[in-house]
Amino acid sequence: MKLRFIASLCAALAWTAVAGVAQAANPGGIAYSKTTNVLLYGKATGLMIAGRCNNTSSVFQTVRSRGGEVLKYITPVAVPDNFICSIDQQSFMNNYGAVPLWPFPSYGQRIMRPGNHMADIRAGSKWSNWLVGYVEKLMRERKFDGVFIDTCGGRPWSSYSNWKNWPKSERDAWTNGCVDLVRRIDAKRRAINPNFIVVNNNVWDRTDGSTIGYAAHKYIDGVSLEHPAAPGSASYHRAYAAKTFSNLGHRRVFVIARSVADARAWATQKGVTHVSSQSSESSYSYPTVPPVSFKALTDR
């Protein structure tokens, strides 16, 4: 009986220790089109991604006034074929049709997904130069705490891009273009507002032996890892979450988990700072109730 009691006590203490770190990261969320639950993230410090057509809503500024951080969503590599909304169009040179498209293998041939053609993200392109200026404007306006850069990274992962059949020269142009974009954004923020946060929703791995994308790590505060498996089955993503990023001191590694349980498990992993339980892209219209509690950060 005594031995069983000791064993039970040890188990209870072990559970208490685990529970004490079970919510080490803060909650984050995506409000792609609606603002339901957004105010729940207005604490020190939640993380909220403001969407393409709702980012002018006053609710995001209320979140900021209460201690939360709001990043503006931008997608520099996918240009909509059709009008979405006037707010979104402003981030595409005020006219989707004005954005130069990817020139290989012929102009405008590549698509990111149905209804979205690939933009000319090459280093020094007209589009890349314009986008750097657009993000600089956001830094100066100080209406957002940073940007959430969708898709740009080591490579596009959508099967529609046909990446596996690209020649190396084209692959390198795409990866180097994304690296150059975050490099120049980083240079701007260091000069204008070092507190400005830069996170991209992609890894910088290409899975073809090339490591040129890793140069971007020093220019960003972290990445978003979208719907990895539970930590115990996701050794690649666990290792990636623990990587070193910018030296500006405000690390943001955001795991969008597949469930509340997974979000809580990811919250205990090394390097992870924010977690969401928005289980699929179809759930991105507004955030769930925060899946973990809030922990004050002192890095800003």
pLDDT of 13 > 80? The answer is no
- How large is the average pLDDT for residues 162-191? 98
Tell me if 13 is assigned to some domain: no
Tell me if 95 is assigned to some domain: yes
Query: Tokens 């939640």 label which residue?
Result: 46
The Cα–Cα gap between 126 and 278 comes to: 35
- How large is the average pLDDT for residues 144-168? 97
Tell me if 19 is assigned to some domain: no
241-259 confidence digits (pLDDT tens): 999 999 999 999 999 999 9
Rounded mean pLDDT of the chain?
A: 92
The Cα–Cα gap between 207 and 63 comes to: 38
Q: What is the 3-state secondary structure (H, E, C) of 152-220?
A: CCCCCCCHHHCHHHCCHHHHHHHHHHHHHHHHHHHHHHHHHCCCCEEEEECCCCCCCCCCHHHHHHHHC
pLDDT at 191: 98
Read off the tokens for 47. 């993380």
pTM of the model: 0.91
Element (H, E) at 268: none
Strands 78-80 and 69-74: unpaired
Tell me if 142 is assigned to some domain: yes
Q: How many domains does the chain have?
A: 1
- How large is the average pLDDT for residues 112-118? 97
Residue 243 belongs to domain spanning: 24-283
68-101 confidence digits (pLDDT tens): 999 999 999 999 999 999 999 999 999 999 999 9
pLDDT of 238 > 50? The answer is yes
pLDDT of 264 > 50? The answer is yes
pLDDT of 141 > 60? The answer is yes
pLDDT at 210: 97
Tell me if 15 is assigned to some domain: no
CB 177 within 8 A of CB 128: yes
Tell me if 18 is assigned to some domain: no
- How large is the average pLDDT for residues 118-141? 98
Would you place residue 236 in the very low, low, confident or very high pLDDT band (cuts 50, 70, 90)? Answer: very high
Q: How many CB atoms lie within 10 A of CB 1?
A: 5
pLDDT at 299: 73
pLDDT at 200: 98
Tell me if 291 is assigned to some domain: no
**DSSP 8-state class, residue 149:** E
177-220 confidence digits (pLDDT tens): 999 999 999 999 999 999 999 999 999 999 999 999 999 999 99
- Residue 104 belongs to domain with CATH number: 3.20.20.80
Would you place residue 284 in the very low, low, confident or very high pLDDT band (cuts 50, 70, 90)? Answer: very high
The Cα–Cα gap between 260 and 278 comes to: 8
pLDDT at 295: 87
DSSP 55-104: TT-HHHHHHHHTT-EEEEEE-TTEEESS---HHHHHTTTTSGGGSPBP-S
Would you place residue 285 in the very low, low, confident or very high pLDDT band (cuts 50, 70, 90)? Answer: very high
Tell me if 297 is assigned to some domain: no
pLDDT of 18 > 50? The answer is no
pLDDT at 300: 64
pLDDT at 48: 98
